[in-house]
Chain A
């Protein structure tokens, strides 16, 4: 997906390579790496890449933003870049300008609901909100008497109960208790919370695909270096076949995620075919994370079970990202219901629609 000739992606990759080296981050117990990284990303306009210039952003097209997110997965990036991109995109759907600084999105789970009350305030609880405690603002999808709204909320007015994801990244519970938003607008026709969840799912799919790609690369390199029984373990057929299976999972995740991102970037209308693309990306990438992470660890043996080794930065994030914006089980049920409602003879036309 990464296109060397693309200036946006090249800029992001240069910053990741310089300031988000997994080895350096892994050894930095005080977290000193995070501030310079975020500053460089902000100076390059990347967190608000998806926001049009008149709304305070860089006005980058969706495809480039998706490529940056995929690349961020390849670095197991643990700052709210994907979240701020997503928040900026969401606010723009409502015609709301994006402020400076880190943002996140609420809800981050399909069944959580934020309500817009008659007095114009927001109430409700959103669990598993990524990087809420690092965010200055939260972009919100809220449900009121007159339908769906999009709102910008100052994080200072929220109660945030900190939590941690499987990968020890912030994954917080955010309580809205009659909070007055900074700005609020009705969502455009056809936009609902599912739409945010699907977009978030594709973003997580791209991150998982990127992390899996790196797991394969690290594992292949290690298999060529580690000697056991007097030869590199990569010369053993059992190890080769495991790595070939890992490559298959990387391929499936990458194909599903980039295809969904491409479909969304082309601006196609939200129909069953786009739903299939987005839901399938989240489902298949999550399944690939499970199988792929297991193989990568198996190839490494005990060494990658240590905090010192960098593998966990990729394996645990790939696994953790499954949980955000609807798990694979959630989307499988939703997709299965939609397929069933269309009927057996409409399944193939759906699969073969593009």
Chain B
């Protein structure tokens, strides 16, 4: 068993300067009515313009090379921007997937002319990305995907269906895995290839799916002879399984993995007032201690990534512990709010937030790798598999 490491990482001074800038920017956006910080993520009509303004500040693609429009800043600086945006309930969905996942994949696997074309537009906040992994009969079992890519002149024809695809309805591009060969007896993960798909191509139909939160963020995406050119192939033919796991440490350990329902804790503190009873004080104290420990784990992983390490197991632990925590948080806040004065000034805000957060909670341990899959990865890291 390899020892788990969570070194005490401190954010360097440049992060604190940056944090002030981000807070000032968000305060301006809130004052201008771009979004309501008391109302968690929803699709604002002007999120498109907000994305461009975030891009103008240099806060998308922060760690990428300057020649592709990036800013060559550290993972710790990106961390600060991400957590401040998340805590303010800023409408980041339009650019966040590209910033966190799609951009790094393109950087690693796309041909030069594609990188030169697309990455600067991501950095300017102009492009929205979706991820095409799940299919109707293939979720956690990623390598059971059946949507086919069939070779044709100058490219590939795609046929099949992706599902639960967040933001597909507004995405400009999707990075998806498609079946290019059958799996082999020796390796059931063989035969899938990663592609960049222009969502505006003919033959792609996006059908919205209503969610229990009242949102319609995710979709079914049906491909009927949709054409993907050869230069949109990302990485090795039939070898997506080698690529799919490489960036996971970045994806799993960020502040978005424990802050998704954070807003209910702030409102609970507001409702409880400056001199809470013992029960409320203890409850708030425990939640804040747990949040602090989570953040220290997550910052520690960011620091290790910055130092060029690959803390895959530690990152999976952050997502496991973090998503379970953010899932339980609204329920604990509900418990603690039970005895808060009925006429506390923010009672209505808190109750509206709780309704939304409790409806959101079930997805938190499913999206981006279920708890069960993560625990399997952790168990492998412990030497049990």
A248 touches B281 (CB 8 A): no
Interface residues on A, range: 35 or more
Q: Does B170 contact A (CB under 8 A)?
A: no
Q: Does A135 contact B (CB under 8 A)?
A: no
Q: Determine the distance from Cα of A247 to Cα of B83 in the docked complex, in whole angstroms.
A: 25
A279 touches B285 (CB 8 A): yes
| The residue from B8, B288, B372, B375 contacting A276, defined by CB atoms under 8 A apart | B288
| The residue from B266, B275, B281, B297 contacting A333, defined by CB atoms under 8 A apart | B281
Instruction: State which residues 229-250 of A face B: CB under 8 Å.
Output: 234-235, 237, 239-241, 243-245, 247-248, 250
B273 touches A248 (CB 8 A): no
Q: How far is the CB of A145 from chain B (nearest CB, A)?
A: 30
B281 touches A340 (CB 8 A): yes
Interface of B is mostly: helix
Q: Knowing A217-B1, A280-B293 are in contact, say whether A244-B375 is a contact too (CB < 8 A).
A: yes
Q: How far is the CB of A27 from chain B (nearest CB, A)?
A: 25
Q: Determine the distance from Cα of A299 to Cα of B27 in the docked complex, in whole angstroms.
A: 51
Interface size on B, residues (CB 8 A): 60
Q: Does A17 contact B (CB under 8 A)?
A: no
B288 touches A347 (CB 8 A): yes
B274 touches A343 (CB 8 A): yes
| Residues on the A chain within 8 Å of B320, using CB | 244-245, 248
| Residues on the A chain within 8 Å of B77, using CB | none
Stretch at the interface among B96-104, B354-362, B376-384: B376-384
A283 touches B286 (CB 8 A): yes
Q: Determine the distance from Cα of A336 to Cα of B333 in the docked complex, in whole angstroms.
A: 13
Q: How far is the CB of A235 from chain B (nearest CB, A)?
A: 7
A336 touches B276 (CB 8 A): yes
A241 touches B375 (CB 8 A): yes
Q: Does A284 contact B (CB under 8 A)?
A: yes
Q: Does A213 contact B (CB under 8 A)?
A: yes
B321 touches A241 (CB 8 A): no
Q: Does B269 contact A (CB under 8 A)?
A: yes
Q: Does A223 contact B (CB under 8 A)?
A: yes
Q: Determine the distance from Cα of A235 to Cα of B294 in the docked complex, in whole angstroms.
A: 29
B269 touches A343 (CB 8 A): yes
- How many A-B contacts if CB must be within 8 Å? 185
Q: Does B114 contact A (CB under 8 A)?
A: no
B384 touches A335 (CB 8 A): no
Q: How far is the CB of A271 from chain B (nearest CB, A)?
A: 15
A340 touches B273 (CB 8 A): yes
Chain A minimum-CB-distance residue to B291: A351
| The residue from A213, A248, A279, A345 contacting B289, defined by CB atoms under 8 A apart | A279
Q: Determine the distance from Cα of A175 to Cα of B87 in the docked complex, in whole angstroms.
A: 50
Q: Determine the distance from Cα of A159 to Cα of B212 in the docked complex, in whole angstroms.
A: 65
Q: Determine the distance from Cα of A243 to Cα of B382 in the docked complex, in whole angstroms.
A: 8
Q: Does A332 contact B (CB under 8 A)?
A: yes
Q: Does A352 contact B (CB under 8 A)?
A: yes
Q: Does A21 contact B (CB under 8 A)?
A: no
B295 touches A351 (CB 8 A): yes
B272 touches A220 (CB 8 A): no
| Residues on the B chain within 8 Å of A256, using CB | 289, 292-293, 296
| The residue from B11, B285, B313 contacting A336, defined by CB atoms under 8 A apart | B285
Q: Determine the distance from Cα of A283 to Cα of B320 in the docked complex, in whole angstroms.
A: 20
B293 touches A244 (CB 8 A): no
Contact with A along B273-315 (1 / 0, CB 8 A): 1111010111111101111111111001000000000000110
B266 touches A336 (CB 8 A): no
Chain B minimum-CB-distance residue to A348: B87
Q: Determine the distance from Cα of A237 to Cα of B384 in the docked complex, in whole angstroms.
A: 10
| Residues on the A chain within 8 Å of B282, using CB | 329, 332-333, 336
Contact with A along B83-109 (1 / 0, CB 8 A): 110010000000000000000000000
Chain A minimum-CB-distance residue to B290: A284
B321 touches A347 (CB 8 A): no
| Residues on the B chain within 8 Å of A239, using CB | 384
| Residues on the B chain within 8 Å of A224, using CB | 383-384
| Residues on the B chain within 8 Å of A352, using CB | 19, 80, 83-84, 87, 295
Q: Does A328 contact B (CB under 8 A)?
A: yes
Q: Determine the distance from Cα of A186 to Cα of B320 in the docked complex, in whole angstroms.
A: 48
Q: A245-B320, A248-B378, A280-B288 are in contact. List 18 more A-B contacts (CB 8 A).
A: A216-B382, A244-B317, A247-B313, A248-B317, A252-B290, A252-B294, A280-B289, A281-B293, A284-B293, A333-B285, A335-B285, A337-B275, A339-B285, A340-B274, A340-B276, A340-B280, A344-B270, A351-B291
Chain A residues with a Cβ under 8 A of chain B: 213, 216-217, 220-221, 223-224, 234-235, 237, 239-241, 243-245, 247-248, 250-256, 258-259, 261-263, 276-277, 279-281, 283-284, 287, 328-329, 331-337, 339-341, 343-345, 347-348, 351-352, 354
Q: Which 3 A-B pairs have the closest CB atoms?
A: A332-B285, A336-B285, A336-B281
Q: List 11 A-B contacts (CB under 8 A).
A: A220-B382, A235-B384, A241-B372, A241-B375, A248-B321, A256-B289, A259-B296, A283-B286, A333-B285, A340-B273, A344-B270
